[in-house]
Amino acid sequence: MDEFMQAAIDEARLGLAEGGIPIGSVIVHQGRIIGCGHNRRVQQGSAILHGEMDAFENAGRQPPQVYREAVLYTTLSPCAMCSGAILLYGIPRIVIGENRTFLGEEELLRARGVKLEILQNPACIALMQDFIAAKPELWNEDIGQPTTGC
Q: Measuring CA to CA, which residue among 60, 49, 67, 48 is closest to residue 11?
A: 49
Residue 106, CB-side half-sphere exposure with 13 Å CA sphere = 17
In the structure, how many helices (H) and strands (E) does the chain have?
A: 8, 5
Q: Is 52 a catalytic residue?
A: yes
Terminal alpha carbon distance of the chain: 44
Catalytic residue among 11, 52, 98, 105: 52
φ/ψ of residue 127, rounded to 5? -55, -50
Active site residues: 52
